[in-house]
Chains A and B, each alone.
Chain A
Amino acid sequence: MHDFDRTDDANEDFQTTALVHMDALFNSAVRMTGNVADAEDLVQETFLKAFRFFARFRKDSNCLAWLFKIMKNSYINRFRQKSREPATVSIDAGLPGQEGTFLETPGHEMEPADSMYSRILDDEVEDAVRSLPEEFKLVVLLSDVEGMQYREIADVLGCPVGTVRSRLSRGRSHLRKHLQSYARELGYLEKDTGR
């Protein structure tokens, strides 16, 4: 096994431009896959693909958004490999008149590898975010955890900015329904707005 050569220009460039984002990717990967082992595999696959395509990456563009885009695609493809004919769920985020279905993504069961992760993830807000429909979950993570702007998220998802806004809005209203009493308990909400 060879070490990844730091002295080589191209590899050093990849390390300083792409590999520095490992924590951010892993952070979302855990919430996407629902467990630490799958998140590690997903992050590794993402970096391998990014490495293969690194020559095509425009150096003046946003590397984190590019990596998230690769990770999102890998996540969808990985699931397809697990099951060629996955179950489908009714479209929730579709446009009026759409009758198609989005592929259901892996379950939300959490099997933390050790107690540190288990402690962090054992939280009602964590549970609520993990059980969000996939279409909303990544948008909420990118916006509210990674602090990305709509334009960057649109770039990751390959959709218009308006779609980002509407998915975020729906994602937050899902969370609001599930977390209303907990939010009041923690002092995030004072009154019930009745919605």
Chain B
Amino acid sequence: MNCRTADELFTAYVDGELGTDTETSLAAHLEVCNTCRLEVEVEESVKRMVSDRLQHIPAPVGLKSRVCAALAEEEEHRPWWHEISRRVRRHPRQIVGALAALFLVAAVGILSTVLEPEPPALAARLMRHHADCAVQFATDKPLTVKSWFQSQGIDVADTPSSLAPFEYSLIGAHICEMLHQNAAYMVYRHQGKEVSICRVDGIPVDLQKLEHVDYGSARFYTVTYGNSNLVMWQEKESVFAIVGQVKSEDLMAMAAETRIL
């Protein structure tokens, strides 16, 4: 092993993260090379200094009760089905009553589905995330987006710099780990409105349960939720989505023009 090869291994060596063979050959090199040994000692010192000097700061006493109060409030606003299933679990003797309630609410649910269809939960979640997520990496250059995703271990195909036939321009990229480890977002903006294109592989959305529109040779699945619209499509065994506070037809036009992901 020479000094150049060794230099790249110091950090992992100090952290005990090298494989046995590499560690043994680096240790052999350090036996004979003072320069490298000194480098390793310095890195060890920095690591030790940070662990020694940065004291563990305990959370303030009031924080736990504040968090618990917030959780209790959150729980109060949980959807009705969560509350019912919770009560059934906690009070099995009252299961008859709970079942009656379930039946009643299910009837109301079916009625409301007929009157105003609710989007499947995962699609709704996808749209809420679109609203919450930040651009983590700001750039208007498609190649830069691609190499940024690669540096994060995600392969995406070429990203367009704008979404024809409208003038939505690329403003950056995002990875939403809450949604799925590989939910890659490209974010576009035009006249203050943002549209995201995401690759949503692995998210178990049953497309067949969504409404669909055949647009040219493509089949698009659509969901409306509040002011937002979501259009999803399948391409090469992957599922893609385009989402924004924009009319479904416009989203479909953008998706049809794009189809490059």
Contacts and interface: CB of A to CB of B under 8 A. Distances in A.
A23 B134 contact: no
A77 B141 contact: no
B214 interface: no
A129 B45 CA distance: 15
A126 B72 contact: no
In which size bucket is the chain A interface? 35 or more
B116 to A, nearest CB: 24
Contacts of A191: 38
Given A26-B58, A43-B59, A98-B144, A183 B72 contact: no
A191 B60 CA distance: 40
Nearest to A186: B49
Given A3-B68, A165-B11, A103 B86 contact: no
A102 B47 contact: no
A170 to B, nearest CB: 9
B20 interface: no
Contacts of A117: 57
A193 B39 contact: yes
A169 interface: yes
Nearest to B144: A100
B45 A9 contact: no
A165 to B, nearest CB: 5
B70 A48 contact: yes
A60 B101 CA distance: 34
Interface in B172-206: 172, 175-178, 181
B178 A49 contact: yes
A27 interface: yes
Contacts of B50: 125, 129, 140, 144-145, 175
Contact of A97 (B55, B147, B172): B147
Interface in A102-146: 102-103, 113, 117, 120-121, 123, 125-126, 129, 140-141, 143-145
Contacts of A126: 53-54
Interface residues of B, number: 63
B217 interface: no
Nearest to A172: B46
Contacts of B136: 76, 102-103
B137 A102 contact: yes
Contacts of B58: 23, 26-27
Contact of B42 (A95, A158, A193): A193
A186 B45 CA distance: 11
A20 B249 CA distance: 48
A44 B55 CA distance: 22
Given A69-B177, A100-B137, A159 B151 contact: yes
B66 interface: yes
B45 A30 contact: no
A100 B186 CA distance: 14
A25 to B, nearest CB: 8
Contacts of B181: 158
A189 B54 contact: no
A179 B49 CA distance: 10
Contacts of A158: 152-153, 175, 177, 181
B132 interface: yes
A165 B67 CA distance: 34
Interface of A: 1-5, 8-11, 14, 19, 22-23, 25-27, 30-31, 36, 40, 43-44, 47-49, 51-53, 69-70, 73, 76-77, 79-80, 88, 94-95, 97-103, 113, 117, 120-121, 123, 125-126, 129, 140-141, 143-145, 147, 149-150, 158-160, 163, 165-166, 168-169, 172, 175-176, 179, 183, 186, 188-189, 191, 193, 195
